[in-house]
Amino acid sequence: MAFIPRIYLNPYGARPYKTETSKSIFKDQTLFSNLINSINVNQLTNIFNDDLIITGLELISSTLTNNNRSMSFVLSKGKIIQDSTVIEILENVNISIDVFSEYDILETNMSESYFKISNDQTVNLPRGKSFGIFNSNEPLNNHLNWIVKSTQFDGVNTKVYTHQVMNNSDTSGKLVNDNFGGTSGEIILMSKYRFIETLNYNPIEFIPLYRLSNNIYPEFDSNEHRIIYDMFEIEKDNTNYKIINYNSCDYLSSVMLKDSHYVIHNINNIHPSYFDGGVIN
C-alpha cells in the first residue's frame, strides 16, 4: 500500500472577489479561503466529473521472483486526477503478487498430522485445499497431494492438519500453495481508491489482481478499482508450482471486468475519446 499526499480541491466553486480596499491576503474570508487557488483546477476536474486523468505511472519492469512463484512489478512516479482530487505519486511504486505461496515448515507433528507455518494462513488454506511439499530432506514429504483437513491459528502461527498419515517429523523443505487454480490466467495491475473527505484514512493502494475465467482474486470493486496500469497473461506449471511464461497484453487497448469497461493505461493505442485509464498530455 502506498500512502500518497494529495491536494483537496474546493467543491463549492468560485467565491466573490474582495474589494480593492480589503487588507485580506485572500479574495474572501471564509472557511475555504485557503483553497481559492484551486478554483481553476477544480473547474477543470468538474468537466470530467468521475473520470480519471493520469500521467506517468508506466510500467518500468516486470520480473518473476520467489522461485518463479511470484511476480513483481515497478511503476514510475506520476500524477492522477481522480474524484476531483489531485494525487501525486512521489516515487516509484513496487507491486508484487504471490501466484503460489511458499512457506517455511516450522514444525511437524506425526501424532496429530499437521505442518506448522508462520502467520495466519487459514484463509489461504481452507478445508479440502491441496498443497505440495518441496525440497524436503525426507523423500516421503515431497509430493503434491497433501489435503487440508482443517487449519488452526494460535495467534502467531498456523497449524495445517492433513487427512494423510505423517510418517516422520522432518521440518526441512517448503509448503507451497496454489492461490488461484487453473493453468493460465491474467494478472491485472490496478489502483484502489475511494474518495473520503478527510486528510486521514484516505490512501490510494496499488493492487495486483488475478483473473481466472470471470473470477477476480483476491477482491474487486468497480467503484474502487478504476485504473488499469498494465495486464499480463501467465501460464502455470501446476506440477512444480511455478509460473513458466508471462506476456504483456499489449494487443489489447481495453478489457471488460465484471461488466465494466476499462482502458489499459500502459498501451499506446488508446482511443482519444476514452479517459478512464487514459492519458492527457
Lowest-pLDDT choice from 8-17, 35-44, 173-182: 8-17
Q: Which of 178, 193, 213 is the last residue of a domain?
A: 178
Is 80 exceeded by the pLDDT of residue 174?
A: yes
Query: What is the domain range of residue 85?
Result: 35-99+182-263
Is 8 part of any domain?
A: no
Is 116 part of any domain?
A: yes
Say if CB 162 and CB 148 are below 8 A apart: yes
Is 60 exceeded by the pLDDT of residue 279?
A: no
256/153: higher pLDDT: 153
Residues 240 and 254 in one domain: yes
> Between vectors from CA 4 to CA 2 and to CA 9, what angle results, nearest 5°?
150
Q: Which residues pair with 54 in a beta bridge?
A: 80, 279
- Cα–Cα dist 115/110, whole Å: 9
CB atoms within 10 A of CB 223: 10
- Best mean pLDDT range from 168-177, 189-198, 247-256: 168-177
Q: Which of 178, 202, 219 is the last residue of a domain?
A: 178
Is 12 part of any domain?
A: no
Residues 202 and 83 in one domain: yes
Residues 187 and 90 in one domain: yes
Number of domains in the chain: 2
Is 268 part of any domain?
A: no
Residues 86 and 124 in one domain: no
Residues 133 and 162 in one domain: yes
Is 88 part of any domain?
A: yes
Residues 172 and 113 in one domain: yes
C-alpha cell at 50: 468521475
Closest CA to 210 of 60, 96, 54: 96
Is 82 part of any domain?
A: yes
Residues 253 and 186 in one domain: yes
Closest CA to 109 of 117, 99, 118, 120: 117
- Residue 47 sits at φ, ψ, to 5 deg, of -60, -40
Is 278 part of any domain?
A: no
Residues 232 and 112 in one domain: no
Residues 224 and 164 in one domain: no
Output the pLDDT for position 52. Answer: 66
Residues 105 and 72 in one domain: no
Residues 192 and 255 in one domain: yes
Is 7 part of any domain?
A: no
Query: For residue 182, is it left (φ>0), alpha (ψ between -120 and 50) or beta?
Result: left
Q: Per-residue pLDDT tens for 43-97?
A: 555 554 555 678 889 899 999 999 999 999 999 998 887 776 778 889 999 999 9
Torsion of CA 5, 49, 227, 256, to 10 degrees: 160
Q: Mention every residue, 6+ apart, whose C-beta is less than 8 A from residue 262.
A: 226, 227, 228, 254, 255, 256, 276, 277
- Cα–Cα dist 113/280, whole Å: 59
Q: Which of 157, 178, 199 is the last residue of a domain?
A: 178
Is the entire prediction scored with pTM above 0.85?
no
Q: Per-residue pLDDT tens for 115-128?
A: 999 999 999 999 99
Q: Sign of the CA dihedral 38, 196, 262, 100?
A: positive
Residues 89 and 201 in one domain: yes
